[in-house]
Homo-oligomer: A and B are copies of this chain.
């Protein structure tokens, strides 16, 4: 009974939400960037192969062709180029998707086993909800086209289109008229994968003590409303873009954003219990599984080929291959530099630092992967790798407790990577600095506001008892590695 009543409640809520989105996508003004959006029962008819185009072109009367077929008629080579470009965006989106597994693994590997289910849940939740809210609001808030609400600073979002039915709308959204590199759908899905990343970064920094529900709300707000704002400033064609700011794949827009949002949340939360002892000593809290952390970093590195490589926004050969080279070399240099730095500073080579170093190098090159040449890219990676070790030590020294080094990896190295474009990548140093500082600051303040409000309303930290016992049992009633159990 209870079950059925609850179920009815859930389905009502969910149906309502979706109905709302439906409604707004159907009756609202056309979403910016989409010509029209009248619902359509099926889109099976959209498939076209250039091959066919030519054949039918000879035989069938032109008026029977579908709009995209008509568009591509006589442009078989352009169609092929568009197909490879769009395919790359889609594959790149899948690669960025797998970064979320990377985050889940790194974050759970570098924390205690009693909080593993919680961390995994948070990461699973964020990527899911991030895609949905980006569809419902974020995409159009971040890429407003000409529909700015407050000139070049803020645009109100709206749901993505549901389908395109008018021939004109089809052509202008689903062919190279929309963009030489991708369809409207390809554009959306690639950007959607990016969106959840920022919130995921926060997840690692607040691990082992943040209350689940407020975190879920805060992270959802961040990814839905805040990330698109700063995103619009640059990639949406906003004020930073107009100033000539350069941030190729998001050292600042994604990583520093996440890093500084994390910093605010960490400041509000405070350190984990018994991390900083009364006598001033720092008690390390060991990560429970190095294989998990390593799997995570390799998954992130793999995903970065989509993150940076896809940001070429086409399969243009020079761009993609150049970005692959700089990304690889900077990541590798970061890993080597952090290994050696930890070896010298900390006596023994620290695997967790080597892993952080790889990520630091990758974050560092993200802003200039297209604009920086391979040898300077290595230098960017080396500096990031050294920087991340020092930064981790520094934050620990000032008692800012970041279990996985997210603030250092994404925040600090995100800043570094962005200004590095001003040094090695032909960017304007001042503008680069301005850009990375203003977005970092905005992310910090927005996060402070959101998590500050949540702290005031419901609290954001679990009880000391729950922290001792672990959030897996406290929040989920589910251990990550349940062992022996009474057998009846």
Contact = CB atoms under 8 A, between A and B. Distances in A.
A143 interface: no
A429 interface: no
Given A128-B331, A312-B47, A6 B345 contact: yes
Contact of A192 (B82, B121, B162, B328): B328
Nearest to A180: B51
A352 interface: yes
Contacts of A317: 82-83, 86-87, 174-175, 182-183, 186
The SS class assigned to the A binding surface is helix
Contact of A42 (B91, B124, B305, B425): B425
A453 interface: no
A322 interface: yes
Interface in A1-39: 3, 6-7, 9-11, 14-15, 18, 21-22, 25, 39
Given A120-B291, A320-B86, A42 B332 contact: no
Identical copies of this chain, number: 3
A372 to B, nearest CB: 7
Contacts of A89: 321
A52 B180 contact: yes
Interface string A283-321: 100111111101101110110010001001011111111
Given A104-B298, A121-B349, A309-B90, A289 B480 contact: yes
A318 B358 CA distance: 36
B83 A488 contact: no
Nearest to A487: B274
A5 to B, nearest CB: 10
A297 B283 CA distance: 35
Interface in A82-106: 82-91, 93-95, 97-98, 100-101, 104-105
Nearest to A24: B375
A291 B480 contact: yes
Interface stretch (A71-79, A147-155, A202-210, A435-443): A71-79
B98 A298 contact: yes
A279 to B, nearest CB: 10
A339 B480 CA distance: 17
17 contacts: A43-B318, A48-B318, A50-B77, A51-B176, A86-B317, A87-B88, A87-B315, A101-B298, A116-B291, A124-B339, A125-B354, A129-B332, A174-B317, A186-B317, A186-B320, A189-B325, A290-B479
* A7, A277, A373, most chain B CB atoms within 10 A: A373
